[in-house]
């Protein structure tokens, strides 16, 4: 079957590939489309759950979990120190990026909805730093493979996850620019877990991330219209649909770890604040993300194994390998 998909995708030229991608994104932008995709892409767990620890579980109806530095036995200090160094080494680039995008007009949620093809331009409020030069020196991959974390993620997703991406994200939090500074879902898949490892203390008065539980988020979407494409919601709209207690603010302290299904929880972040936010971000996806027929065009094939110079277990190889392995 996988060879079929592999061969089939080369039949499409570039134009058709992007058409398919847009088609899939349209499905992901409606709540009913998401439910259908979810049922179509359900897979049996590839491995049995590795649940073994005393940490809390990530619940299906909640979709997020905040751990503090003392909750896990991961040695986080080396990562924190080295990423601080990376940020200071890249300060010139970060400043230039923010300055270059500073002139962009603010895009309101209504502007985004008007754009029917869901193209999202660069994020002027968030700088992504390339980690590739640092993989050999900083244990980012070891953090992503941590057994406690993987165990929580696997139990939530119902399968051992694929690690799709590890990023260092710096939000200067200087101005409101639109995009994911408004309530949204991420459209990577119908379910996923993103790990946010907080690398700097953030403003104690402005939440670094606001989240609405998966249960409440799907109620909001049902009420909005299950077939209506959706891109961003304004604060006013969300406030009219929720009680204040439905919106959970997360304030970042250096060393905190947040796990969130940002594909099922409405959320926003990177709003203006007195302090910037720097997070390491690991994206855990399901195998079906790569196999669902609407992605017959292939897609990104991340293979993080090339950065590893120690012996990996079979499960770790699976998690770090790209699709079709
Ligand atoms: Fe997001």
Q: Confidence class of residue 240 from pLDDT cuts 50, 70 and 90?
A: very high
Q: Report CA(72)–ligand 1 centroid distance (Å).
A: 25
Q: Report CA(207)–ligand 1 centroid distance (Å).
A: 14
Q: Which tokens go with 317?
A: 């190889």
pLDDT tens-digit map of 18-35: 555 566 677 788 888 888
Residue found by looking up tokens 């751990």 in the block: 67
Q: Which helix (H) or strand (E) holds 215?
A: helix 214-224
Q: Report CA(11)–ligand 1 centroid distance (Å).
A: 33
Of 189, 146, 148, 132, nearest to 316 by C-alpha is: 146
Q: Is the pLDDT of residue 294 over 60?
A: no
Spell out the domain ranges in the chain.
Answer: 2-320
Q: Report CA(47)–ligand 1 centroid distance (Å).
A: 28
Assign domain 2-320 to a CATH class. Answer: mainly beta
Q: Report CA(182)–ligand 1 centroid distance (Å).
A: 9
- At residue 165, the 3 state secondary structure works out as strand
Q: Report CA(124)–ligand 1 centroid distance (Å).
A: 14
Q: Report CA(168)–ligand 1 centroid distance (Å).
A: 15
Q: Confidence class of residue 296 from pLDDT cuts 50, 70 and 90?
A: very low
Q: Report CA(290)–ligand 1 centroid distance (Å).
A: 20
Alpha-carbon gap, residue 181 to 187, rounded angstroms: 15
């Amino acid at each position: 079957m996988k060879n079929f998909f592999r061969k089939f995708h080369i039949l499409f030229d570039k134009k058709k590939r992007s058409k398919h991608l847009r088609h899939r994104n349209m499905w992901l932008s409606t709540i009913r489309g998401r439910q259908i995709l979810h049922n179509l892409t359900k897979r049996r767990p590839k491995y049995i759950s590795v649940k073994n620890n005393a940490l809390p579980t990530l619940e299906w109806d909640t979709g997020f979990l905040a751990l503090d530095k003392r909750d896990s036995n991961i040695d986080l200090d080396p990562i924190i120190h080295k990423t601080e160094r990376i940020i200071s080494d890249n300060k010139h680039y970060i400043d230039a990026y923010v300055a270059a995008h500073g002139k962009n007009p603010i895009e309101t949620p209504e502007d985004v909805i008007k754009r029917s093809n869901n193209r999202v331009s660069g994020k002027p409020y968030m700088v992504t730093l390339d980690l590739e030069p640092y993989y050999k020196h900083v244990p980012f991959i070891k953090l992503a493979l941590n057994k406690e974390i993987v165990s929580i993620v696997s139990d939530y997703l119902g399968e051992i996850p694929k690690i799709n991406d590890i990023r260092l994200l710096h939000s200067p939090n200087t101005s409101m620019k639109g995009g994911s500074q408004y309530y949204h879902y991420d459209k990577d898949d119908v379910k996923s877990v993103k790990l946010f490892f907080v690398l700097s203390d953030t403003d104690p008065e402005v939440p670094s991330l606001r989240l609405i539980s998966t249960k409440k988020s799907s109620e909001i979407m049902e009420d909005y219209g299950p077939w209506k494409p959706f891109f961003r919601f304004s604060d006013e709209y969300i406030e009219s649909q929720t009680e204040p207690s439905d919106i959970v603010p997360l304030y970042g302290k250096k060393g905190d770890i947040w796990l969130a299904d940002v594909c099922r929880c409405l959320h926003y972040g990177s709003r203006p604040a007195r302090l910037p936010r720097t997070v390491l971000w690991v994206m855990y996806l399901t195998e079906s993300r790569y196999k669902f027929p609407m992605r017959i065009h292939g897609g990104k094939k991340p293979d993080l194994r090339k950065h590893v110079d120690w012996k990996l277990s079979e499960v770790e190889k699976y998690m770090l390998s790209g699709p079709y392995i």
